[in-house]
Structure 1
């Protein structure tokens, strides 16, 4: 094995050193008019020429040529195989790149995992077209190596060797797998590897949990790595610039299986610890401190602070819910009442930020709160209105009031939509409010929805959260609606 291979832990570029030339033949099924075939031929030849320049930029350019050829003649084995080889070369180039290079010349938009996944798609398509040829097995096995799916790579090699038992590229991959995987899981004592700090995360100094290996070769807990990257997109150890995100970065399956199998008790402790941060329990809520939200209200947020990026990632792994709370202007501390919101839409951005949409669900009273990893967590008491009595007709009266107010609210919405037809944004917002209208058979929830029809100040919304009388809240909602009508204002 060369020095390059041993230092990187990857096979070298043997087996994808060259691409196939296009044969000047255009007969049988899938044949094209000669002018289009000639264009495809030229595109492939240009792609091959740029590929053989053996530079990162030339590999990117060759992919462009092959993709244009594939658009004209889809599912052509030569085109798919050559493009797959180019994707592999880019991924290997990035994984073998000196970490210090990224400090001075960052490669924007290039990610070894993404290119390996694109290569895998082409390889699998090629395999479905040419299952009796060795080439697709060779290409697929190499993409699986780049994705650290070693067992799948071994299965692919074995399948390929059944087609051609004497294939040198496939036999080389198999020897590599057997030699290196045996070394990784080398047994000691009773057949288990010794527990050393090689299996620890260098950030939390605990056993790796859901390990991710960066392109520069360092492994961290998934949560630890992205918590570190919230403050900068560099490897915490060697400072290589990383282009990774939770959505596109896969856990290292082989390393995770080794840890889980050989250190089961410690792994179970780490799992429980992780889940305790993700699933806080029925009476514990992570808090986003910004504004007052009430049930049935929608709210859009741009998450950019590192502490809230971490919180949102944990929430999205759990029940998608958090508390929205404001600072009480009277006390200067967080308000005593707040609302649980559910993240209904979440758009992660490449740099770790999020655009999210939340919708108010339940309200609660904060019993106590504390800091956890930079953001607030609260022990809460869930709050509901005092239910009216059935015996003296209070419940019936309340339902009748709610039904009447619902009819008035719908009438108001109809007029507001008519007035807002020239304002697309305002009109769609009114439609959304109409769709969110609860049934009048749920007076408590309806009373909050009624208040969302008008713009309310934070203190007014906080007062609504504190009220436990549904009739009183409906009365306030009607007052707000009348004021809106008299002021000729539409939200």
Structure 2
């Protein structure tokens, strides 16, 4: 498909015909040692090979390779651009797939919208890195076209033409978008429809918001249909079996436009209600009840329960953040202290499940919680360590000892990485830990990162979350490292001497 060809669905895709083979840059900030750089290059080559097979399963393999490469060498423009193009190809494949194919090979969980949103995220990040080239504009415009955000796509194309007025790809896309806009203006109705329940969703009984029309002819709010089909593949109204997921059906642009233009006040209320479910506010946190996580810790999750699938979709539309909370073994209920995590990677699976990667951010204490659509939402207060005054001797001593311990931790990681050359999974994990190492000038965050170098029990991690003394947490982390080196577990309650490193 050429850069300016239009599809049968009325949208144009640019910059997805192939991926880049150019050598990765390994200079300046973000440069890697030669062994890691060679490993990243190999992952990118495997991703490019998989992409060029032009099959859905191979596109998914390519995403896996690019994501692993990005974890080791984050924000590399070639890796980001290639992954973005692959997300676009998956979204395009799903949008153009004939509905009759779903009867033999249903792909009920693969979502063209989510993949287009992931492509948009990569394209925007690429634009921050390479604002003086047209590739970010080309990829971003393609993602917006797949999301049917035509005005934003047009603005993006125009911005790209300011960078390179002679870009044939962008010129062709602009012409196509202007033809589409002219056609839509010509078909626009000038009669204002009467407000009837024909514009209501039969599930929530409110004005349709982001309406999707099923093959059997019934329209529902996008989010309402999502929730219903988490529990079955039938139309909620007539019970017709649906072989495609609501996520494979785009929002009805015409119906949505009619509703938005003719019932603006009610539409604004519905939008505010929807935004309230996806943007929880500064001190309101959706909770995933599973395990105790600490800041700087990465965690892989398999999301399969309907309530958590709903929660993850809402989070992905908003801040991409939630709370990870464990069960306190002493009380049998939610632990009082928990950690905010950010979804850094999200892979939708064919049956509607998600594989996600989260990374611990901030600590909080749960004040009170309530149920919302099957999952828990909590009011929280944020927890910080006691701050030593800037310039005080205690602060100077803490920074100096943290800097010394950082050097020891780097040596520890180097030895561990050399010992795991044959274990690629552990090798990649150690590379990830090394990349996430915070600056020693932030002792609080560094203390949590230090604790992630060894596996800890939920009780130990809860204790670390509750501590507000940075020096004490670093001491415990050093004890954990020392006990791991000795091949044994130490009971903190029996230790009276100072840890093996000065802090």
Q: State the TM bucket, normalised to the shorter chain.
A: 0.5 to 0.7
Q: 2:159 corresponds to which residue?
A: none
SS of the counterpart of 1:259?
helix
Q: What SS is found at the alignment partner of 1:389?
A: coil
Q: Could you tell me how far apart the structure 2 residues matched to 1:267 and 1:91 are?
A: 32
Please give the alpha-carbon distance, in whole angstroms, between the structure 2 residues aligned to 1:207 and 1:438.
48
Separation of aligned partners in 1, 2:99 and 2:378: 47
Q: What SS is found at the alignment partner of 1:316?
A: helix
Cα distance, 1:437–1:110 mapped onto 2, change above 3 Å: closer
CA, structure 1 residues 186+294, in 2 after alignment: closer, same or farther (shift >3 Å)? same
SS of residue matched to 2:355: strand
- Structure 1 residue 91: Cα displacement: 4.4
Aligned residue number for residue 60 of structure 1: none
Counterpart Cα distance in 1 of 2:244 and 2:264 = 29
Match of 1:481 in 2: 481
Q: Does structure 1 residue 390 correspond to structure 2 residue 387?
A: no
- Whether the 8 Å contact between 1:342 and 1:358 is mirrored in structure 2 is yes
Q: Cα gap change, 1:159/1:375 in structure 2, threshold over 3 Å: closer, same or farther?
A: closer
Q: CA RMSD in A?
A: 3.3
Find the counterpart in structure 2 of residue 67 from structure 1.
none
Residue of structure 1 equivalent to 2:403 = 403
Decide whether the 8 Å contact of 2:111 with 2:247 is kept in 1. no
Q: Does 1:425 align with 2:425?
A: yes
Counterpart for residue 50 of structure 1: none
The 3-state SS of whatever aligns with 1:437 is: coil
Bigger relative contact order (CA 8 A; separation at least 6):
2
Larger mean CA deviation between 227-236 and 420-429 belongs to: 420-429
Give the distance between the partners of 1:238 and 1:424, measured in 2 at CA.
51
Matched with 2:365 is: 365
After superposition, give the CA deviation of every residue in 1:251-280 in whole Å (9 maximum; x if it has no partner).
100000000111111101000000000001
Aligned counterparts of 2:457 and 2:418: Cα–Cα separation in 1: 26
- Contact kept? 1:244, 1:350, Cα under 8 Å: no
Which protein shows a greater Rg?
1
Deviations 1:289-338 (A, max 9, x none): 00000000000000000000000000000010000000111111111110
1:201-253 C-alpha deviation (Å, 9 max, x unpaired): 01101000000111221110000001111101221112223244465431100
Name the SS of the counterpart of 2:465 in structure 1. helix
1:470/1:259 CA distance change after superposition, 3 Å: same
TM superposition shift of 1:389: 2.6
CA contact (8 A) 2:371 2:377 kept: yes
Deviation per CA, 1:395-442, whole angstroms, max 9, x where unpaired? Answer: 100001101111111111122112222222112211111111111111
SS of the equivalent of 1:343 reads: strand
Conserved? CA contact 1:186–1:193, under 8 Å:
no
Task: Using the TM superposition, give the Cα deviation of residue 108 of structure 1 relative to its aligned residue in structure 2, in angstroms.
Answer: 2.7
Give the TM-score, by structure 2 length. Answer: 0.61
2:106: which partner in 1?
A: 109
Aligned CA distance change for structure 1 residues 114 and 315 (closer, same or farther; 3 Å): closer
1:352 aligns to what SS in structure 2? coil
CA contact (8 A) 2:225 2:246 kept: no
Structure 1 alignment gaps of length 5 or more = 1-15, 17-63, 65-86, 95-101, 116-146, 150-154, 161-173
Q: 1:148-188 deviations in whole A, cap 9, x for unaligned?
A: x9xxxxx99x989xxxxxxxxxxxxx9xx99xx78xx684x
Deviates more, 1:407-416 or 1:386-395: 386-395
1:48-78 deviation per Cα after TM superposition (whole angstroms, max 9, x unaligned): xxxxxxxxxxxxxxxx9xxxxxxxxxxxxxx
Q: What does 1:68-87 align with in structure 2 at a 5 Å threshold? A: none
CA distance in 2, matches of 1:309, 1:301: 12
| Gap regions ≥5 residues in structure 2 | 1-7, 9-54, 56-93, 113-147, 151-174, 490-503
**Residue 331 of structure 1: SS of its match in structure 2?**
coil
Runs of 4+ in 1 over 4 A off after TM superposition: 87-94
Contact 2:228-2:236 at 8 Å conserved across structures: yes
Residues of 1 paired with 2:278 and 2:97: CA distance? 36
Worse-superposed segment, 236-245 or 317-326: 236-245
- The 1:397/1:350 distance shift into structure 2, 3 A limit, reads same
- Offset at residue 357 of structure 1 (A): 0.3
Residue number in structure 2 paired with 1:256: 256
User: Match of 1:473, SS?
Assistant: helix
TM-score (normalizing by structure 1): 0.63
Query: Distance in 1 between the 2:243 and 2:441 partners?
Result: 51
The reply to whether residue 240 of structure 1 matches residue 240 of structure 2 is yes
The size of the alignment, in residue pairs, is: 334
Deviation at 1:110, TM superposition (A): 7.4
Which whole-Å CA distance do the structure 1 matches of 2:405 and 2:227 have between them? Answer: 48
Distance in structure 2 (CA, Å) of the matches to 1:361 and 1:88: 35
- 1:340 and 2:340 are equivalent in the alignment: yes
Matches within 5 A, 1:425-464: 425-464=425-464
Structure 2 Cα separation of the partners of residues 110 and 407 of structure 1: 50
Change (3 A) 1:219 1:460: same
